[in-house]
Amino acid sequence: MQPKILFVCLGNICRSPTAEGVFRTLAAHNDLNVFVDSCGTSGFHNGEQPDSRAMFEASLRGFDLSRQRSSQLKSSDFTDFDYIMCMDNANLQNVKSAAPENTNAKIELFLNYAPNQPLREVPDPYYEDNFSDVFDLIETASLGLIAQLKSNA
Ligand code: 4NP
């Protein structure tokens, strides 16, 4: 079965599109067949490209986010995805509040898959401008989740 993974943050222009692009590329490099998408709990940036600072940092590391566009979490996501990976606790609470009671999607913090570092939430780089740190965290958690999914297969 092809696991379907949705990455979620607030605006879907910094953290979750980064996770989508990084995870898709690293999964392909690791021969893992997955379907990947991302969205925001807000629709503030619907239709926009990822933040230019995220696209620039991606380009330095061999990732391409430029074809992705921002969208908002929708009710069909809870049936279409197996895993909904949230960037911070506020996203996690908002996603859980929106989830129907009978959803089978596993809703959790993405950094559960990067246990060997102190942070549990991916910090918001929109104001902090710490895109390099955010990419480091997302690459680490992506490799952790890929290892988990490969061990399930
Ligand atoms: P993201 O970052 O949730 O990682 O996409 C943000 C992007 C935009 C805003 C906040 C966070 N905003 O307030 O517009």
Q: Is 0.85 surpassed by the pTM of this model?
A: yes
DSSP letter (8 states) at residue 49: P
Top mutation candidate among 15, 16, 46, 124 for ligand 1, by most atoms within 8 Å of CB: 124
What pLDDT sits at residue 29?
98
Q: Specify whether 69 is catalytic.
A: no
What pLDDT sits at residue 101?
94
CA of 9 to the centre of ligand 1 (A): 8
What pLDDT sits at residue 105?
98
Top mutation candidate among 126, 133, 134 for ligand 1, by most atoms within 8 Å of CB: 126
Of the residues 14, 15, 24, 77, which is catalytic? Answer: 15
User: What is the C-alpha to C-alpha distance for residues 10 and 121, in angstroms, rounded to an integer?
Assistant: 13
CA angle 134/11/103 to nearest 5° reads 95
Q: Specify whether 86 is catalytic.
A: no
**Which CATH architecture is the domain 4-152 placed in?**
3-Layer(aba) Sandwich (3.40)
Domain boundaries of the chain, sorted by first residue: 4-152
Closest to 147 in 3D by CA, of 114, 109, 118, 116: 114
Q: Answer whether 93's CB lies under 8 Å from 85's CB.
A: no
In degrees and rounded to multiples of 5, residue 41 shows phi and psi of -75, -25
Please identify every stretch of the chain with a pLDDT value under 70, giving residue numbers as ranges.
none
Q: Specify whether 88 is catalytic.
A: no
